[in-house]
Amino acid sequence: MGEDLTPARLLELDRDHVWHPYAPMPGRIPPLLVESAAGVRLRLAQPAYGVSELVDGMSSWWSAIHGYAHPVLDAAARDQLGRMSHVMFGGLTHEPAILLARRLVEITPEPLQHVFFSDSGSVSVEVAMKMALQYQRSRGLPGRRRLLTWRGGYHGDTWHPMSVCDPDGGMHTLWSRALPAQVFADPPPAEFSQAYVDHLDAVLGAHADEVAAVIVEPVVQNAGGMRFHSPRYLTALRELTTAHDVLLIFDEIATGFGRTGELFAAGHAGVSPDVMCLGKALTGGYLSMAATLCTERVAEGIAGGEVPVLAHGPTFMANPLAAAVAAASLDLLLESDWRTEVGRVSAALSAGLAPARDVPGVRDVRVLGAIGVVQLDHEVDMAAATRAAVERGVWLRPFRDLVYTMPPYVTGDEDLARICAAAVAAAEAG
């Protein structure tokens, strides 16, 4: 003992040993050392550019919708810790998982009846894909093992989810030749166009014999470029996939739990997918957990096959601690007037980000639900943009040509104004 773990020492150790996301090893831009977080604020262990507390504009990548150290979620975690933090899920079950599954079935579109828990969003997409392929195989169509998606998407960083991320502009372009070859349609236009629906129909029609499922992020393509599209395309996809007899998977990992102004983005269109992936805000940002929901048809189809089991079982499947916090987070959300709150955040982002339109180098400013996006006409200078935001007391994580924010729903009006001012400054600096 006796080691003096000063912030500087910790950051030194971090640089020596810890790999950060989407970063080289060792990292080029030193990360900020967070000591604690409460409400919508991150407390830094040492000031950065003279600032020691940052308003969080990122909800820790879409997840911390209630902010940090929420007393209700803290209590749910402590309460569950007193019982057990984990047991395996093979052969065992527990109340937190059972109640969470029932709750998810209640609040998602009615046809979705079964829940497969996993430990991260990417894995929930892997599970969705496996379900789809196995469903088709079980009904005697083993040739249907490709996925169809539209370009501009993002579904995670593990191998098969990477294969349905945007193959050109996305972050996984390096692997495009090594990944399974999926079928890609053009990116969905923002506004509804019948010509685009016809295009989807043509692409799906040409590959219907080999496609197991269509997988898309409904309404918002997140890390693929933060593009929004008309929910009318979801009704078109529902209809086309039914007509061509392939499954429809909605990846609602980022969009779920109110972020777009509907509890699930599918709700903008009022359609139900055959399979839905959830993650991120599922536990209110407390713990890593994801879920893949499916219809009775999908489950029964697999059960009726040559191999009736879904051979998948994460070690931390249905982790009781995460499940208990998730249930508490859902209660917190649904008992709140979340629709009004998201609307309030949305209006504040619309007003606060509007000045970015006049910033040279800004191509577009768009807001949907509690998501605000400033798109530049050039690759953002991440270090300069981040610094500009931090100097204004706000945590933002720009990437590619985007400065964007999806704050916790509980963010107050003053803090929202501060986030917006920081985003505008980041757009100017970056």
Partner 1 sequence: MTTLLETLTEKALRRETPTREEAMAVLGGEGELLDVVAAAARVRREFFGNRVKLNTIINMKSGMCPEDCSYCSQRLGSKAEILKYTWISPEEAAEHAGRAVRAGAKRVCLVASGRGPGDRDITRIENTIAAVKGDHPDVEVCVCLGLLGEGQAERLADAGAHAYSHNLNTSEERYADICSTHTFADRVDTLRRATEAGLSPCSGAIFGMGESDEDIVDLAFALRELDPDSVPVNFLIPFDGTPLGGRWELTPDRCVRILALFRFFFPDVEVRLAGGREIHLRSLQPLALHLANSIFLGDYLTSEGQPGADDLQMIADSGFVVEGADEPTLPAARHDLVTIRRRGAGSAKARRAEAVRQGEPAAADGPGADG
Nearer to partner 1, 25 or 206 (CB): 206
Is there a catalytic annotation at residue 251? yes
To the query of whether residue 68 is one of the catalytic residues in this protein, the response is no
Q: Is 397 annotated as a binding residue?
A: yes
Q: How far is the CB of 297 from partner 1 (least distance, A)?
A: 13
Q: Is 381 annotated as a binding residue?
A: no
Of 68, 196, 274, 280, the catalytic one is 280
- Beta-bridge partners for 55: 41, 394
Q: Exactly one of 4, 22, 168, 358 is catalytic; name it.
A: 22
Q: Are 136 and 142 in contact (CB under 8 A)?
A: yes
CB-based contacts of 70-78 (< 8 A; 24+ apart in sequence): 70/284, 70/332, 72/328, 72/331, 72/332, 73/284, 73/286, 73/325, 73/328, 73/329, 73/332, 75/328, 76/324, 76/325, 76/327, 76/328, 76/329, 77/286, 77/287, 77/321, 77/324, 77/325
State the minimum distance, in angstroms, from the CB of residue 362 to partner 1.
Answer: 27
CB 214 within 8 A of CB 149: yes
Contact 409, 341 (CB under 8 A): yes
Catalytic position from the list 56, 119, 166, 251:
251
- Which CB, 93 or 242, lies closer to partner 1? 242
Count of CA atoms in the C-beta half-sphere (13 A) of 251: 30
Tell me which residues touch partner 1 (CB under 8 A).
110, 192, 194, 198, 201, 231-233, 235-236, 238-239, 242-243, 262, 267-271
| 251 annotated as a binding-site residue | yes
Task: Quickly list DSSP for 322-353.
Answer: HHHHHHHHHHHHHHTTHHHHHHHHHHHHHHHH
Shortest Cβ distance from residue 98 to partner 1 (Å)? 25
Q: Report residue 250 as tokens.
A: 């909605």
Cβ nearer to partner 1, comparing 103 with 232 = 232
In the bound state with partner 1, the residue whose beta carbon lies nearer, of 144 and 238, is 238
Contact 381, 29 (CB under 8 A): no
- Minimal distance in Å, beta carbon 225 to partner 1? 23
CB atoms under 10 Å from CB of 134, counted, come to: 24
233 is catalytic: no
Which is nearer to partner 1, 234 or 348 (by Cβ)?
Answer: 234
Sequence-separated (6 or more) residues with CB below 8 Å from residue 283? 63, 289, 322, 325, 326, 329
Which of the following is catalytic: 68, 154, 196, 409? 154
Name the minimum Å distance from CB 201 to partner 1.
7
Is 314 flagged in the annotation as binding?
yes
Asked whether residue 280 is marked as a ligand-binding residue, the answer is yes
Q: Which is nearer to partner 1, 239 or 300 (CB)?
A: 239
Nearest approach in angstroms of CB 260 to partner 1 is: 11
Largest CA distance in the chain: 69
140 is in an annotated binding site: no
> In sequence order, what DSSP letters do the residues of 226-287 get, joined into one string?
-EE--THHHHHHHHHHHHTT-EEEEE-TTTTTTTTSSSSGGGGTT---SEEEE-GGGGTTSS
Residue 111 Cβ vs partner 1, minimum distance, rounded to whole Å? 9
**Residue 256 Cα to chain centre, angstroms:** 8
122 is in an annotated binding site: yes
- Comparing CB distances to partner 1, the nearer of 160 and 268 is 268
- Residue 284 contacts residue 318 (beta carbons within 8 Å): no
Binding residues for pyridoxal 5'-phosphate: 121-122, 251, 314-315
Binding residues for substrate: 61, 154, 280, 313, 397
| Residues tagged active-site | 22, 154, 251, 280
